[in-house]
Amino acid sequence: MIWRDGVTLPAARFRNRFHAALTSILPVEVVILAAKGACDRPLVMADELELAPALPLGDVLVEELPLDLPYSTMVVLLPESDAPFSELLGETVGEALLLAQSLGGVPMEHETDALYIMAHAAMRRAAALGLEGHDVESQGFCRGLGRCLSRHWLADRRPLLPDPLLFRRSDFLWQRQLAVYLAELDPGFSSPDPLMVPEDLLTVADAPLRLSDWAARTETMLRAVMGAPEREEAPLGSEVAARFNFQ
């Protein structure tokens, strides 16, 4: 899409509005782009994603588009669609949470818990945006979030879900059948109490952070909430020069 002029900059007014709402929920450096053609859902990627060996996405975008892309930026490609603003925002946030999970180091046995907790935190944050002057409708946001999570959690396991339309409901996150289904999907799922999720779980900074820093802070917050042990860094051998930083 990029090399065939299928990726462009959205209209400034929409781009600024979407950027403001997204970063109010997830404080991460992000660039908002529009994708044409076969793209039918939001795509959320790290700028360092390699499109080919030694060819990161960020370098290609800077070369092909009139934009400045700082290192460690989250790239969002939005489809050309008639989806309401809040639904598009919710679906994008869901994809961003999945990206954060892939970049972080939450133990595998806690991954379903982590995504479930982050989804509740995002929903609560979106509901508060209206009080802060953002034009975000919480029910639409949750439906968009549900579209994203249904792709991740359902896959070929749809028959296990009693209500096949569950993820289309604006209150799907609070339904008991979701917790039952996730427990069947992942035996390690502990059914965290949504009321115990801190309201500021995703507010890990007062200003947008680099993608790598945001993912790391989000992981730290999740580990604290879930009671997961802190990640232990593997010790470096004495033969490794101290000037190298492997963070």
Contact 146, 122 (CB under 8 A): no
CA distance 100 to 219: 8
For residue 247, the model assigns a pLDDT of 33
Which residues 6+ apart lie within 8 Å of 82 measured at CB?
A: none
Instruction: Determine the pLDDT at residue 213.
Output: 96
Q: What predicted TM-score, i.e. pTM, was given to this entire model?
A: 0.90
Please report the DSSP string for 19-80 in residue order.
Answer: HHHHHHHS-B-EEEEEE-TT--S-EEEETT-EEETTEEHHHHHHHHSS----SS-EEEEEES
pLDDT number for residue 159: 64
Number of Cβ within a 10 Å radius of residue 41: 20
**Confidence (pLDDT) at 134:** 84
Residue ranges for the chain with pLDDT beneath 70: 156-160, 228-247
* pLDDT given at position 106: 80
CA distance 186 to 43: 26
pLDDT of residue 130: 80
Question: So what's the pLDDT on residue 158?
Answer: 62
Tokens of 242: 């101290």
CB 127 within 8 A of CB 138: yes
DSSP code for 5: T
